Structure formats: C-alpha cells, structure tokens
Structure 1
C-alpha cells in the first residue's frame, strides 16, 4: 500500500511540475542570446550560446544570410555569392563578397558568411568601443592582407590546407581612425612610445577570441608579427 501511495505522489509531483512549466512558460523569459532555439542576430551579445549558433551557420547558408539581414543599416555592404571554384582544388561555399561594414577596408574581400557575421559583431561590439576607449575616436578603416588564398598552412608542401583556402580566414594588419591616427600590428604591438596604441591592439586581440574560432597574433610566431589572423575553425584557440 505504501509503495502504491509513494508512486502516486511521485506522479502527482511530476504532473504538478509539468503543469507549472506550461502555465508559467519560463522559456519565454530567456534572453534571445541565451536561448538555443532563437535565431542569432547581429546585435546579440556574444555568449557561449551565441557562439554555438554562429558555428552552426557553417552548414546553413540560408540561415547565415538571414542573420546578415538583421544587421542595422550601414553595418555591412555585401554580395552573397554562388558556390564556385576560383582556383582548382579550392572550392568556395557559403561565401559573401564584403565591400564595407561600419568601416572602410583597404580592398574588398571574399569570406565565408559566418566569418562575415563574426566580423560585424566583433566590430560593432568590441572594436568601436575600444577605439573610443583608447584613441577617443571612431574606427573608420581596416587595412588587411586578404582572405582567400588557395594554399597549405605556411605554404608547406604536404601540410594541411589553410583556412584561407576556403576563405574562412581574414588577416588584419592595421587600423585607421577618424582623428587621423593609425595603428599597425607590426609597429605598435609592443610600442613603448605609444602605449595606448599597443593597449588597443592587445585588447582587440583578446576581445576577438570571443568571436572567432581561432585568433593568432604577433605573440604566436614570426609569420604573424605583422597581422592578426581571424578564422572560423575551432572553438577558442587564441594565441
């Protein structure tokens, strides 16, 4: 008798919990940037859940383009490209051609759509605030070393393909600001005569680690002494 009563009470408790959940609908109060089933948007804060959603865009080109459509006016000027193979052995899929974002670039470039999403989020949420913090000025231009390059890592024969071979990487060499100042990764990474420029670069590098799967800079190795390498592979390799 006690066993039957215990089971009955257990089931009543379970039903009570389910009823309370249906009535209160707690999932509706989860912020969208923490809700795993709400679509990602450009202005969502970058949380662990946001980064997970960003990684899923690699396999969902249409959803990725939908996320770019959530960008505020002027946040990005891009052209979605059909899949194509510009160089034999290096097919490109889920890519966009970026003309500008909230800043100008030294030239247009082609990157994977998820990397474009990550860049715009990073630029709006981190780079521009850091520019105001360290230089009291808006960031207006980014000088880069390119995105797509059909090659192996470090051009080594027999090595695995670089993320650049799929346009899933973007190399940034310098920044220009509305007040006329410029910052170069090569010149100012450890510049003791312009510590505020060095501080901007260090903070930008660290902040990027929350948005890109892999972030490499001058402290990683000599080939990266003159640029930041941002790519969409991995889930937090930051050096």
Structure 2
C-alpha cells in the first residue's frame, strides 16, 4: 500500500511538472512573439524593409521570399497598386470600363511606360501594370544587360483588353479569354537603347544572344505572372508572350 501511495504521489508530481513546463513554454513563446512583433514594427528596427512583412512592396527592393506575397497583396488593391507604381510607371487611372457582364476593366489604367521602358499607350488593369513593372525591373533589364549588352528602352505589345472568346489550337473556345477582363497582356518584342530590335516571331529560335535573351525573359515572367505562355506552348503564341495575372502557375 505504501508503494502504491508513493507511485501516486510521483505521478501527481510528474503531471504537475508537465503542466508547469507547458505554461512556461507557452509564456516563453508569447514573449518571443511579442518581442518579434516589436522588432518588426519599431521605427528603428534593424530588419531590412524587404524582409519586413509590415512594409508594403517597393519595386526597387531586392527580391526575396516575401516579394511574391507582397506583390499579390499590392495587386489585389487598386489603391495599393497605384501607390506601389508611383515613380516606377507612367500611367493614369481611368474610370472602370463595364462593356458587358463578361467584358470589363475594373482597376483600369492608361499605361505608357514601366521602369526604363516605354510602351505604346494601352488600357489595362493596374495589376498587369504592376507585374510588368516588376518583370521589367528584375528580369528584362538584367537579361538585356547580360545577353545583349544594352538596356531595354521599349516593350512592344499587341494588346491587353479584348472582349473575345478564348482561342485554342482547335479553334474558339466557349470560355471568355482573360483578355476580356484585361487580366493579360501580349508582348511581341523589345527595343534596345542601342537600336537593336528583338522580336519573338523572328528571334525565338535564334541560337545566339537574342534567343537566349528571349528565353531568359520568358523564364523571368514566370516569377511575376500567374501564367506565362510563349512560342514553346503552341503555334498561336509564335509571335508573342501571353502574360496573365491569374492562373495556375503554367510556365511554358
């Protein structure tokens, strides 16, 4: 009986110790979380802004694991999108376009340039303009410097908004194209500061630096757009990149 009583006392002490340890661990985690939060929000935080989840996206920030998350947050709000593009794009907000229930541009902008690159005036969504600006800054310009020894001065497009059905290799689909809501833009080529022209139709299969540049910027687009289609996808895209702000991550 004495041994049984001793075992019961031991078990009680173990349970009490486990509870105390749990409370201490919970308190310790809470202290760490509070300290971490204070570190993030403190005006003098040593945490770089690009790593700070409370700081909004800045196009010129170095790219890291938080960049894509910050981009999606900025693209989801027209106000935040316009704020992020301030100083990094030549655009004017426009009143929303509502052509039909299936064809519209909600966060409509008139876009003429992103970063160092001019575009022929185009009506599109702010979200597309923002993703273009990120692509131009972090993919297009570095690839041009690496493969072509110059900077890009123009991005040539063949449209964004187009109230139409989706086209497939087998003809028209019954689904509306993402162009019907300006959730996509088609890019046909680039002009460089030294006068060089690069076109997908003529240079995609180029074995030299133009072909390498085009493949590099295609791969880079996959980092900034939710869906990227190139001439490798099918013959309908032989002359352009289809860059889309919503999709399932297809990159081809």
Task: Give your verdict on TM over 0.5.
Answer: yes
- C-alpha contact (below 8 Å) 1:90/1:150 kept by paired residues: yes
- C-alpha contact (below 8 Å) 1:54/1:114 kept by paired residues: no
**1:35: how far off?**
4.4
2: CA distance, partners of 1:190 / 1:154: 24
**1:165: how far off?**
0.6
How far does the alpha carbon of each residue in 1:113-160 deviate from its partner, in whole angstroms, 9 at most, with x for none?
111111111101111111111111111112211111000111855521
Q: Is 1:221 aligned with 2:238?
A: no
Report the counterpart of residue 103 of structure 1 in structure 2.
117
User: Which structure's CA Rg is the greater one?
Assistant: 2
Q: What secondary structure is seen at the aligned counterpart in 2 of 1:160?
A: strand
Q: What secondary structure is seen at the aligned counterpart in 1 of 2:175?
A: coil
Residues 140 and 14 (structure 1), Cα distance of their counterparts in 2 relative to 1, 3 Å cut: same
- C-alpha contact (below 8 Å) 1:210/1:236 kept by paired residues: no
Match of 2:18 among 6, 31, 39: 6
- C-alpha contact (below 8 Å) 1:58/1:94 kept by paired residues: no
Q: Is 1:171 aligned with 2:183?
A: no
Residues 94 and 146 (structure 1), Cα distance of their counterparts in 2 relative to 1, 3 Å cut: same
Match of 2:142 among 124, 129, 136: 129
Report the counterpart of residue 69 of structure 2 in structure 1.
52
Cα RMSD between the aligned structures?
A: 2.3
For this pair of structures, how many residues does the alignment match?
232
5+ residue gaps, structure 2, are 1-11, 41-45
5+ residue gaps, structure 1, are none
How far does the alpha carbon of each residue in 1:27-70 deviate from its partner, in whole angstroms, 9 at most, with x for none?
6265544444432222234445332333344542222222222x
**1:201: how far off?**
0.3
Q: What secondary structure is seen at the aligned counterpart in 2 of 1:129?
A: helix
Report the counterpart of residue 177 of structure 2 in structure 1.
162
1: CA distance, partners of 2:49 / 2:235: 41
Residues 128 and 58 (structure 1), Cα distance of their counterparts in 2 relative to 1, 3 Å cut: closer
Q: Is 1:79 aligned with 2:92?
A: yes
Residues 26 and 130 (structure 1), Cα distance of their counterparts in 2 relative to 1, 3 Å cut: farther
Deviates more, 1:122-131 or 1:7-16: 7-16
Residues 178 and 158 (structure 1), Cα distance of their counterparts in 2 relative to 1, 3 Å cut: closer
Q: What secondary structure is seen at the aligned counterpart in 1 of 2:195?
A: coil
- C-alpha contact (below 8 Å) 1:46/1:211 kept by paired residues: no
How far does the alpha carbon of each residue in 1:175-210 deviate from its partner, in whole angstroms, 9 at most, with x for none?
111111111101010123xx1100000111011100
2: CA distance, partners of 1:230 / 1:23: 42
2: CA distance, partners of 1:33 / 1:176: 31
1: CA distance, partners of 2:133 / 2:150: 19
- What is the TM-score with the length of structure 1 in the denominator? 0.87
2: CA distance, partners of 1:77 / 1:13: 53
- C-alpha contact (below 8 Å) 2:105/2:124 kept by paired residues: no
